[in-house]
Chain A
Amino acid sequence: MALAFTVRNLGKVYGEGRSAVHALRGVSLDIPAGEIVVMLGASGSGKSTLLNILGGLDRASSGTVHFRDLCLTDLADRALTRYRRDNVGFVFQFYNLMPSLTALENVELITEIADKPMKAEEALAMVGLKERLDHFPSQLSGGEQQRVAIARAIAKQPEVLFCDEPTGALDSTTGRAVLTVLNAVNARFGTTVLMVTHAASIAGMAHRVIRLADGAISEVQVNKTRLAPEDIHW
């Protein structure tokens, strides 16, 4: 099976000297392409730091990360921007939509700069927002805003989708709708989905569950059977 990410001895230290915080301590990990991977762990376990480094938002202090053959840890800022632009999509807890752009325009923000994007309308249709193209974020509910954020993330047809607490600000019904969309994107495009969450039950829909504690991987679990998002409760 092809690997999306190969992580070796990854370390991340914030600060210096006595106040230094070791967010990651020698993490090694293989993430196969096309899987939904859920990362669980307590606050400060290092899961978000790992996600940010894999997503090209942050830099490692030591060790290497390869995205397929591309060594991310070697890349300069400009090349990291290129990597984010071409290969990955992000979904955050607080949506981070542009309030000054409509749903459609928020997605077009990506399709304008991506190499082989899908049509913005199509991306919005996939997340069930075909009817709300011309609404501004202020006119959408939280779940709808998060679905626009997902549409924006998948419109470029990324190989990897990074989701940091995508359901964190949503009630469980709305959250399930969002997870359904992520599941569908994975199934239809084979997009690797890396999700950080506090909600352990979400791990049920993953191919692979990585647990982190104290900056290191404590367990990697491969689910033999996966739950449908609709069956997940939290």
Chain B
Amino acid sequence: MSPLDVKLLRDLSRIRGQAIAILLVIAVGVLLQVMMSGLVASLTETRRAYYERNRLADVFAPVARAPDTVLSRLAALPGVARAEGRVVGAALVDIAGEAIPIQARALSLPDFGEAAFSAVYLTAGRMPDRTARDEILLLTAFARARGLAPGEVVRVTMNGARRTLRIAGLAEAPDLLFVGVPGEMMPDAARVAALWMRRSELAAAYDMQGAFNEAMLSLARGAREAQVIDAVDAVLEPWGGTGAYGRSDLVSDRFVSEEIDGLTTMSRAVPPLFLAVAASLLYIVVSRIVQSEREEIGQLKAFGYTDAEVGAHYFKLVLTIAVAGAALGCLLGVLAGRAMIPVYLTFYNFPFLVFRPDPAAFAIGAIASVAAASAGGLFVLRRVFALTPAEAMRPPAPSDFSKTLTLKGRLARLLDQPTRMVLRGIARQPWRTVALSAGVAGGMALASGMTTIYGSFERMMDLSFTVIDRSDATVTFTHPLARKAAYELARVPGVFAVEPVRDVPAVFRNRLNTHRGSVTGLIDPPELARAIGADLAPIPLPEAGIVLSRPLADILEIAPGETLTIEVREGRRPVLEVPVARVATSLIGAPAYMRLDALNRVLAEPGRISGARLRLDGARADAIYRALKDMPTVAGVSVARDARASLQKLMDQGAGSARYIMGAVAFIITFGIVYNAARIAHHERARDLASLRVIGFSRGEAGFVLLGELAVIVLAAIPVGSLAGYGLTFAIAAGFSSELYQIPAAFDPFSHGFAAAFVLGAALVSGWLVKRDMDRADLIAVLKSRD
């Protein structure tokens, strides 16, 4: 090993604390890059393969009831490759010991042969026998969550009739990657089910013999989806078609896409942030080393080493840290990615999901970290090249402070000399001070932003379940009923209040923006489920016109005063032009509210309701749910407590769980930056501090000069960081928000105070660590060295 390489190793060992800190920052950046891009690649590729292998349809066309003969007309449409019909129905699964029946989707399997679309993936057992009348396949996730296995029986209510069905096997399907609880959209394997039956059996149960109520189509090569959808709608119109939609509007696919998009965005935005921090830290640390080794550099050059050789020596130091960081990051990224797979399997029904790191991510991570580190290193190399051998022979010139603060005048005379040293130290290298302060501010921003987000998750839950929706349970009817159905609910003992609602599926259009959702009709004034404004006060619903939630208004790019087109997908399916009256704050979903009577009026269906929100006596809840279960018109009951628990689980174990990792990283980075700032201040001041100690300053007095600068850097960083953190909160909130839930961004004094306390604490600990080193320093050795 060459002597220079030995020196390199010793240098690394000498600065190991800082080297490890920088290495870790690089590693975290590369880890996130490898993990996130690997997850994106794994999810995208697995989904693609799954869709392809199990033949997910390109277009879905729900219809009230269309005879099978219509299918040949659909198949003959230009741009359609193949068409198949199936029967889909709402069912309730009764689980022993559960007062609330589980809402389920019942889907048909072809009596003979393979399904053209959405072929099931059998995970256990066998396919239902063609002759056995009561055999089903059950959704794997639900069966596992409920401990059900092939061979067992379940009690299912289909179209009002109770049946006992035997589980032949467990299965998954590509159109059920994500299954949300009806009415809540929350994924919760235990509270939502899907089951498959042979077509003839299911058709008998739902009165669909010789007919279908959902057509699935694949597109011919080069066909345009929008044109096909229009043609399909025209064909199905007479049969009660409620509007065909493409794969991207399939709820299951939309949620997976959102997940992938979120990951992609984060994988592009977050790792560069870490690499930038690492680059600036490397620059400061390496430039410090080069400065302190001027003499050695001069001597090496005097011995005959070329600029390139000497430069390469210091560049190797940078590269060693960068490459080690990148390698560690790649390794940890693969491990973290593998650890994240079960999270995705909890919320998405992938039959298989293997973490496959994206090879490009390794390359990008390694190249980016080396490039970032080199960028920091290159500035330093310029200084190495500029040094002449003669410099080693000359005593060092004191740093030039003659152009900094003169500190004259009456007020300035009040400053003691240590204070002057602190002030001039800051003024002499304002950019370095700004850079360090910006670094600490960055940490403060991350810490305050992430802490605020923690609070925002809680606030989202609280607002959603105690301010916006104050009901205990939501009942959904099998079809719109007369308003007196609500009175029947009110007669159930233990029900305190009943508030009828009408949910109407609809497609919203504003210019080129569309959204498939529903209009919710509320009584005036509503007590249990309300539209609220940004000030949390209830918004009175207008006589005519619609109140849109903020996310819906954003999707549609529409403002109050403008007119919205609503294509109702139920009943007579009118197309409405409705003025937007207000925009409401909403944290779950993207609802739209109208007055119940106004909604019914435009639908020309007076006095109809589709469900009700209830307040009930918690002590009698089970009895109430049993009573509801016995009502044939009740399609499902959603309990607020369960919905809240599902959401909490999603946020703690699913996508939202990333906030804990990011929060931890934010605090680690903040500490790293503050600690480095203190270390650097110490290195640059070591000689001054030793002199102060020698001439009789106590440790505390000398410490003031060291830590005074750190204090100024930190104190200046806190307000700036707080402001940046406020801005960052909006970005992080947007990153975490999905169509399912929105994370509100706001200024949270507690979070900012907490982050500031953390930064101050980090500064105190760093200051203490550095001061400990200062106290241990060999005064004589420091003073006898030239720099």
Contact = CB atoms under 8 A, between A and B. Distances in A.
A98 B698 contact: no
Given A90-B695, A109-B695, A169-B395, A98 B421 contact: yes
A110 B690 CA distance: 14
A89 interface: yes
A156 B418 CA distance: 17
Interface in A43-98: 48, 52, 55, 57-58, 78, 81-82, 84-86, 89-90, 92-94, 96-98
Interface of B is mostly: helix
Nearest to B415: A105
B784 interface: yes
Interface stretch (B132-140, B397-405, B532-540, B593-601): B397-405
A112 interface: yes
Nearest to A140: B398
B224 interface: no
B696 A96 contact: no
Contact of A138 (B399, B693, B783): B399
B694 A100 contact: no
B768 interface: no
A226 interface: no
Given A81-B696, A169-B395, A94 B783 contact: yes
Interface string A127-167: 00000000111110010010000001100100000001000
Interface residues of A, number: 42
Interface string B208-248: 00000000000000000000000000000000000000000
A81 B786 CA distance: 24
B417 interface: yes
B402 A101 contact: no
Contact of A98 (B402, B691, B696, B783): B691
Contact of A145 (B398, B687, B692, B698): B398
A98 B395 contact: no
Contacts of A138: 397-402
Contacts, number: 101
Interface residues of B, number: 35
Interface string B772-785: 00000001100110
Contacts of A187: none
B697 interface: yes
B573 interface: no
Interface in B669-709: 687-688, 690-699, 701
Contacts of B697: 81, 85, 113
A183 B419 CA distance: 34
A99 B696 contact: no
A101 B701 CA distance: 16
A35 interface: no
A139 to B, nearest CB: 5
A118 to B, nearest CB: 15
Interface in B489-528: none
Given A57-B780, A145-B398, A100 B786 contact: no
B406 to A, nearest CB: 8
A41 to B, nearest CB: 16
A92 B690 CA distance: 12
Nearest to A156: B696
Interface of A: 48, 52, 55, 57-58, 78, 81-82, 84-86, 89-90, 92-94, 96-101, 105-106, 108-110, 112-114, 135-139, 142, 145, 152-153, 156, 164, 169
Interface of B: 395-402, 404, 416-418, 420-421, 424-425, 428, 687-688, 690-699, 701, 779-780, 783-784, 786
Given A99-B401, A100-B425, A136-B402, 16 more contacts: A78-B698, A85-B695, A85-B697, A90-B694, A94-B395, A96-B690, A97-B691, A98-B421, A99-B688, A101-B401, A101-B417, A109-B692, A113-B696, A113-B701, A153-B695, A156-B696
17 contacts: A81-B693, A82-B696, A84-B694, A84-B695, A86-B696, A89-B695, A94-B395, A94-B783, A99-B399, A99-B401, A99-B688, A100-B425, A101-B421, A113-B697, A113-B701, A142-B395, A153-B695
